[in-house]
Homo-oligomer: A and B are copies of this chain.
Amino acid sequence: MGEFELIRHYFQRTGPHPPGVVLGVGDDCALLQPDPGQRLAVSTDMLVEGRHFFADVDPVALGHKALAVNLSDLAAMGARPLGFTLALALPRADATWLAGFSAGLFALADAAGCPLVGGDTTQGPLNLSITVFGQVPPGQELRRSGARAGDEVWVSGQLGDARLALEALLGEIELAPERLARARQRLERPTPRLALGLELRGLASAAADVSDGLCGDLGHILAASGVGADLEVGALLGSDAISADLRAQPRERALRCALAGGDDYELVFTAPAAAREALLQAARAAATPVSCLGRISAEPGLRWRNESGQPLDLALASFDHFA
């Protein structure tokens, strides 16, 4: 199969363009038409075999995840998806792999209303680079820099299960099969929180997605906003942000997975305490659970305290590709 046949067969879809897409795959550029006055939100994420996924990962799950991690950045900005491009390096044109990968990719693209509008295909070590485009009305975007002292700190969904699955798959820990199956879903099929991101427009003061671990990504918000946070381990461990599977683990492992695990693709965000009721209403409208973890303070730094008020004694580091 040649390069252009591969693109036609697996990545070029017929039928009318969705709204906002004037010209899709097949010319020198795609052409998008954002709604009048809207800003364009852009993000890019690259996934490399052996770093971001195992060589034997289910290609359907990989297609899903490659797009999901990008959509998660749009969600964290409060942007509505417009489309995406895919640059793909493949060792060889393997029909079974391509059929699975494109099925997983397009299933999520369709669900999110985010069509593939262009791309590039080349031979090389397996590498998936996706760039997503979304739109957001001026001033309604969720930046990292808007957190203020007194705001509450929230997180969506559940943290740490992806890391739990990774440790089990690497053979570092043992998990019962049904626990591993559930955690593995979180690792391989994360849910981008697009609906919540849209509902948080005008409510959240700052937001980021949790890709490198809660401490690291909340740390980005604190640094960009010039503030700090005081959080309680007990509030976290007792909240809906910790799954029953993670709560069943030894305490130190549960905390490490939840605070510094990464690959969660939840949203961490801040909002004025006065917005609490509106925020819970927004979360219900988005059908996405949220948990409050503590408060923003004027004093820079991220401070975790345990149930007896002592500083948390746990070495935590967010993921760094070159550290």
Q: Is the CB of B77 within 8 A of A28?
A: yes
Interface string of A70-93 (1 = CB under 8 A from B): 000110110100010111111011
Chain B's closest residue to A206 (CB) is B27
Chain A 21-63 interface 0/1 with B at a Cβ cutoff of 8 Å (1 = within): 0110011111111101101111111101111100000000000
Q: Are A93 and B322 in contact (CB under 8 A)?
A: yes
| A40 CB contact (under 8 Å) in B40, B79, B89, B119 | B40
Please give, as numbers and ranges, the residues of chain B lying within 8 Å of A42 by CB-CB distance: 29-32, 83, 85, 117-118, 131, 133
A208 touches B28 (CB 8 A): yes
When all copies of this chain in the complex are counted, the total is 2
Assess whether A44 is in contact with B322, with CB atoms less than 8 Å apart: no
A102 near B: Cβ within 8 Å?
Answer: no
Q: Across the interface, do B120 and A26 meet the contact criterion of CB distance under 8 Å?
A: no
Distance between Cα atoms of A218 and B10 in the complex (Å): 24
Bound state CA distance, A205 and B142, in angstroms? 42
Q: Is A123 an interface residue (CB 8 A)?
A: yes
Q: Chain B contacts of A145 at CB under 8 A?
A: 27
Asked if B143 and A27 make an inter-chain contact with CB atoms under 8 angstroms apart, the answer reads yes
Given that A28-B76, A29-B41, A51-B124 are contacting pairs, would A46 and B129 also be in contact in the complex, using a CB cutoff of 8 Å?
Answer: yes
A142 / chain B contacts, CB cutoff of 8 Å: 28
Task: List CB contacts (< 8 Å) of A136-150 with chain B.
Answer: 136, 138, 141-145
Instruction: Please tell me if A134 contacts chain B, counting CB pairs below 8 Å.
Output: yes
Instruction: Assess whether B4 is in contact with A45, with CB atoms less than 8 Å apart.
Output: no
Cβ contacts under 8 Å, A51 to chain B: 122-124
Cβ B29 vs Cβ A77 within 8 A: yes
Interface residues of A (CB under 8 A from B): 1-4, 6, 22-23, 26-34, 36-37, 39-46, 48-52, 73-74, 76-77, 79, 83, 85-90, 92-93, 117-125, 127, 129, 131, 133-134, 136, 138, 141-145, 207-209, 224, 320-323
* A-B contact list, 13 entries, CB within 8 Å: A6-B322, A28-B74, A28-B144, A29-B74, A31-B41, A32-B39, A33-B39, A42-B131, A44-B118, A45-B87, A48-B124, A123-B322, A125-B127
